[in-house]
Amino acid sequence: MHIVALPAFRDNYIWMIHDTHRALVVDPGDAGPVEAACKAQGLELAGILVTHHHADHTGGIVDLLRARQLPVWGPAAETIPGMTHPLHDGDRIAPPGFHLEFEILQVPGHTLGHIAYFADGGPGKRLLFCGDTLFSAGCGRLFEGTPSQMLHSLDRLSSLPADSRVFCTHEYTLGNLQFARHVEPGNTAMQDYTQWCLRQRAEHQPTLPSTLERELHVNPFLRVSEPEVQAQLTAHAGHKPADRIEAFTLMRQWKNDF
Ligand code: ZN
Ligand code: FE
């Protein structure tokens, strides 16, 4: 199984999963890059997975369905064009012909119906397609949900096996790391990762996928309970956060204003 990033718009990635014959795409905001990749590699598009309703994740679906009939999996709680398989928390799906089974995780916060797709293929073969919930060194903005919902969603994702590869849908990593290093100036994992990301981007390569293992070290939104992060939040806010929800709320606000 191959997984490739198809760049779209300014900083989106449409993830394409293929076996050299057939392909699934995740969050096709634009049909153009998907059609081009199918044509260039001789792939037949076999299905579409959607994490949430935003146009940069769904805008290409109608065009992709013009020439073909396809299963479209997506969040039951949101309106997704062409959706054939509305999904709920805990559902399991196995796209026909792919040796993959995804478990659906409801992860509200960025949007209320947002879902993530987790495939547990055993050690080294775990895949998490998390849309705009978890980014490398960051997290999605709270457009619809509350900080408490988002924190709970991030807790669910970050408690998956650490070797899970994390396929985020935006190339925000270097910008996120600027903020992360500001929050934790002494964090050497953030510094080393920044150097690696700079080299990747200089070669026009994605910084993604990440891994949960890495995110636990470099993502300030997964680190709100760490004593050094708590100290920084206290200094920034002028008071000690009362609990993890307030700590997360302060972190999200700090990043929004950064
Ligand atoms: Zn979004
Ligand atoms: Fe997005």
For residue 141, which ligand has an atom nearest its CA?
A: 1
pLDDT of res. 76: 98
89 as an active site residue: the answer is: no
Q: Alpha-carbon distance 101 to 98, whole Å? A: 8
For residue 172, which ligand has an atom nearest its CA?
A: 2
Kindly give, in sequence order, each residue whose CB lies less than 8 Å from that of residue 128, ignoring residues fewer than 6 positions away.
Answer: 116, 117, 118, 119, 134, 157, 160, 164, 165, 166, 167, 212
pLDDT of res. 148: 98
Q: Return the percentage of the chain with pLDDT > 70, whole number.
A: 100
pLDDT of res. 138: 98
Give distance in angstroms: CA of 110 to centre of ligand 1. Answer: 7
Domains and CATH numbers, the chain: 2-257 (3.60.15.10)
pLDDT of res. 159: 98
pLDDT of res. 213: 98
pTM of the model: 0.98
55 vs 171, 209, 227, CA distance in Å? 17, 22, 39
155 as an active site residue: the answer is: no
- Residue 27, pLDDT > 90, answer yes
pLDDT of res. 9: 98
DSSP symbol at 170: B
Kindly give, in sequence order, each residue whose CB lies less than 8 Å from that of residue 203, ignoring residues fewer than 6 positions away.
Answer: none
Q: Return the percentage of the chain with pLDDT > 90, whole number.
A: 100
pLDDT digits (tens, 9 = 90+) for 183-197: 999 999 999 999 999
Element housing 34 (H / E): helix 31-41
- Sign, CA dihedral 61-174-178-249, equals positive
Confidence of residue 67 (pLDDT cuts 50, 70, 90): confident
Task: Give CA 40 to chain center in angstroms.
Answer: 26
Confidence of residue 5 (pLDDT cuts 50, 70, 90): very high
Give distance in angstroms: CA of 60 to centre of ligand 1. Answer: 14
What would the mean pLDDT of 129-135 be, rounded to a whole number? 98
21 as an active site residue: the answer is: no
Secondary structure of residue 41 in the 3-state scheme: helix
Give distance in angstroms: CA of 55 to centre of ligand 1. Answer: 8
Give distance in angstroms: CA of 238 to centre of ligand 2. Answer: 33
Confidence of residue 247 (pLDDT cuts 50, 70, 90): very high
114 as an active site residue: the answer is: no
Give distance in angstroms: CA of 51 to centre of ligand 2. Answer: 10
54 as an active site residue: the answer is: yes
Give distance in angstroms: CA of 19 to centre of ligand 2. Answer: 26
| Cβ atoms within 10 Å of 254's Cβ, excluding its own | 17
For residue 143, which ligand has an atom nearest its CA?
A: 1
- Residue 140, pLDDT > 90, answer yes
Give distance in angstroms: CA of 18 to centre of ligand 2. Answer: 22
Give distance in angstroms: CA of 203 to centre of ligand 2. Answer: 24
Residue type, 18: H
For residue 170, which ligand has an atom nearest its CA?
A: 2
163 as an active site residue: the answer is: no
182 vs 203, 218, 227, CA distance in Å? 26, 12, 16
Are β-strands 85-87 and 72-75 bridged in parallel, bridged antiparallel, or unpaired? parallel
Q: Are 100 and 1 in contact (CB under 8 A)?
A: yes
For ligand 1, a single-atom ion, which residues have Cβ within 5 Å? 54, 132
Secondary structure of residue 36 in the 3-state scheme: helix
| Cβ atoms within 10 Å of 250's Cβ, excluding its own | 19
- Residue 237, pLDDT > 90, answer yes
Q: Are 116 and 233 in contact (CB under 8 A)?
A: no
> Of 18, 27, 132, 152, which is the active-site residue?
132
- Residue 141, pLDDT > 90, answer yes
Element housing 188 (H / E): helix 188-202
Element housing 44 (H / E): strand 44-49
pLDDT digits (tens, 9 = 90+) for 189-235: 999 999 999 999 999 999 999 999 999 999 999 999 999 999 999 99
pLDDT of res. 252: 98
What would the mean pLDDT of 122-147 be, rounded to a whole number? 98
56 as an active site residue: the answer is: yes
Give distance in angstroms: CA of 242 to centre of ligand 2. Answer: 31
What would the mean pLDDT of 11-35 be, rounded to a whole number? 98
Of 228, 229, 235, 236, residue with least CA distance to 254: 236
